[in-house]
Amino acid sequence: MRSDMAKTGIERAPHRSLFKAMGYTDEELRRPLIGIANSANEIVPGHVHLDKVVDAVKAGVYMAGGTPIAFGTIGVCDGIAMNHTGMKYSLGSRELIADSVEVMAVAHSFDAMVMVPNCDKIVPGMLMAAARLDIPAIVISGGPMLAGRLGEKTIDLVSVFEAVGGVKSGKMTEEELAEIEENACPTCGSCAGMFTANSMNCLTEAIGMGLPGNGTIPAVMASRIRLAKKAGAKIMHLLKKGITPRKILTEKAFINALTVDMALGCSTNTVLHITALANEAGVDIDLNRINEVSKRTPHLCSLSPGGNHHLEDLDSAGGVCAVMKELSQKGLIDAEVMTVTGKRVGENIESYSVKDRSVIRSVDDPYHREGGLAILFGNLAPSGSVVKQSAVAPEMLSHEGPARVFDSEETAVASIMEGAINKGDVIVIRYEGPRGGPGMREMLTPTSAIAGMGLDADVALITDGRFSGGTRGASIGHISPEAMEAGPIAIIREGDLISFNIPEKKIDLKLSEDEIKKRLSEWKAPEPNIATGYMARYAKMVTSAATGAVFSK
């Protein structure tokens, strides 16, 4: 066992003495040591209950003959960090989480790992660490929040963000906003729609690193605790069989995950996280590959923000396994891929079926013939950009309009809230990329304000930053190269025409090649937004969004 390096033999008597200082017995030290990466805290709704999930994992490990050892990791709530400096630190936290899990696992010679995340950057951060370490590992998330209720209507966090725009435009009263605020987030758990956290938890299941149910069982259900116990026990099976993450995270597994991504209509952030995870696993997944998968995959589920269903509805309808079973009817899922159940995908999904066709449509009757995401290229985004095409109004799938240019999210939001944006405008928010932000802030506040004002079918927004999974409308993010790297988005001027055609995967600045070159030759990089501390170092090391915004090697 790896842990023998820290506990076995005469030379390790001092080490055992330190273990005994914490109350560990000789019997416990003879067992495999199972590290539990515990991201519980009191600032993230999706993590406030993870202490109970970790307790259940410990019980499962003990039952199966291991010794569980929990340690903490950080976690940022993107909703609370939204629309201020705090959001600059969110994406950067992914690398810190991956690094800290690696440090703890190697320094203490754990034999295997159970990862307990739930929200946006914590899930991919822990998956990246699992791929890097390549010791037996399993992920058990905390589960989604239940949707809120307001009369007969279901609501969620995005309802609150959009209601702010409603109040600003006079479509809603402050009293109505207060009522939505009070009811939108009724339980602990990751926010109830197919936003980034739930997207990544579902894809963790689809890629084979989480047990069936990991992505959809609500946080408040007893079955979530039972699943955590099963995960604790299952890690001992993975250890015994020598099943490690890189035996699971194969190219075929990534294609399975991307296929489920397209069928569910997941967050645009999955493009960042899947490419970053592939980088850690040594698998080549580029943006063109994502378009290939999207083109052949029907969009089967319409969950918030693109539709009215929530994760609890998807769970009741059969969950991720039922979606994979439906996709397999058209040969879109590789059934031979290994998973943390110790079985192959085909065995995992064999007994599942779709229980509610209003939530999971047939492959022969999808919401859209193509998947939820599209990658756009053109002279404005030579290295690519991403849009959640399943959440775009049909009339905005193709558009040309004048640029309204802003060098920060704050100035754009102020203009939107003042009613200074006109129908047909293309809002450009730049210097918000991985280097320029730094940290590539999410833009849920401006997109929600636009939707709340009823302009989402008339106004587009493009940025070298990124969007929350809660974003809907013609919101095109990850423009690469970013402005801080002298990408063409840096030289757009007020009134320049911008065109995009999502079905044709194109986005262009309507300027001649010579004019673009001339403007770029005159461009000078602005001073960095953050000059000290972690994010200043992050800005120097981070790569393009087109490659997952990972650190340069």
Question: CA 285, CA 88: separation in Å to the nearest integer?
Answer: 26
Q: What is the DSSP string of 406-417?
A: ESSHHHHHHHHH
Please answer whether residues 116 and 38 qualify as being in contact, where contact means their C-beta atoms are separated by less than 8 angstroms: yes
Token duo for residue 410: 């704050």
Q: How far is CA 550 from CA 128, 274, 365, 437, 546, in A?
A: 10, 11, 38, 15, 10
Encoded tokens for 80: 């609370």
Alpha-carbon distance of 177 to 184, in angstroms, equals 10
Q: Exposure string (b/e) for 514-534, b if CB count within 10 Å is 16 or more?
A: eebeebeeeeeeeebbbeeee
Q: Is 533 strand, coil or helix?
A: helix
358 burial class (0-12, 13-18, 19+ CB within 10 angstroms)? Answer: exposed
CA gap 91, 388 in Å, rounded? 19
> Could you give the 3-state DSSP secondary structure of residue 230?
helix
100 tagged catalytic: no
Place of tokens 């992505």: 215
Exactly one of 199, 468, 480, 544 is catalytic; name it. Answer: 468
* 115 sits in which H/E element: strand 112-116
Strands (E), 314-434: 373-378, 381-388, 398-406, 426-429
CA–centroid distance for 280 within its chain: 16
How would you classify the pairing of strands 460-463 and 426-429? parallel
Greatest Cα pair distance, the chain, in angstroms, is 76
Instruction: Of 121, 118, 124, give the one whose Cα is nearest residue 141.
Output: 118
Helix or strand run (H / E) with residue 497: strand 497-501
Closest CA to 443 of 495, 387, 509, 378: 387
At 460 the three-state DSSP class reads: strand
So which residues are the catalytic ones? 468
